[in-house]
Amino acid sequence: MGEPDVVTIGKPIAGGIAAAAYGFTAELAEQVAASIELEDVDVGGVGGTLAANALSLAAMRATLGEVLTDEAFARMIVLAERWTGGVEASIAEAGLPWQVTRLGCRAEYLFGPDRPRNGSEAHAAADFGLERFMHLHALNRGVLLTPFHNMALMSPATTDADVDRHTEVFREATLALAG
Q: What is the pLDDT of residues 21-62, one digit of tens each?
A: 888 899 998 998 888 776 666 555 455 555 567 888 899 999
Q: Are 162 and 80 in contact (CB under 8 A)?
A: no
Which domain covers residue 92, as residue numbers? 70-178
Would the pLDDT of 3 be above 90? no
Whether the pLDDT of residue 92 is over 60: the answer is: yes
Domain finish residue from 15, 50, 67:
67
Nearby residues of 14 by Cβ (< 8 Å), 6 or more positions away: 56, 59, 60, 63
Same domain, 86 and 161: yes
Whether 123 maps to a domain, the answer reads yes
**DSSP three-state, residue 122:** helix
Q: Is the pLDDT of residue 145 over 60?
A: yes
- Residue 68 near residue 75, CB atoms below 8 Å: no
- Are 163 and 79 in a shared domain? yes
pLDDT attached to residue 48: 53
Among candidate residues 62, 49, 18, the one with its CA nearest the CA of residue 155: 62
Of residues 52 and 17, more confidently modeled:
17
97-134 pLDDT, tens per residue?
A: 999 999 999 999 999 999 889 989 888 888 999 999 99
Whether residue 155 sits in one domain with residue 128: yes
Residue 57's pLDDT is 87
- Asked whether residue 29 falls in the same domain as residue 94, the answer is no
The answer to whether residue 163 scores a pLDDT higher than 90 is: yes
Residue 1 resides in a domain: no
> How many C-beta atoms lie closer than 10 Å to residue 22's C-beta?
10
Same-domain check for residues 59 and 81: no
- Kindly state whether residues 76 and 159 are assigned to the same domain: yes
Both 47 and 118 in a single domain? no
Domain shared by 59 and 76, yes or no: no
CATH number for 166: 3.90.1150.10
Q: Is the pLDDT of residue 11 over 90?
A: no
Position 38 scores a pLDDT of 67
- Residues 36, 81 within the same domain: no
- Mean pLDDT computed over 136-141: 96
Measure the CA–CA gap between 165 and 48, rounded to whole angstroms: 39
- Do residues 56 and 112 share a domain? no
The answer to whether residue 16 scores a pLDDT higher than 60 is yes
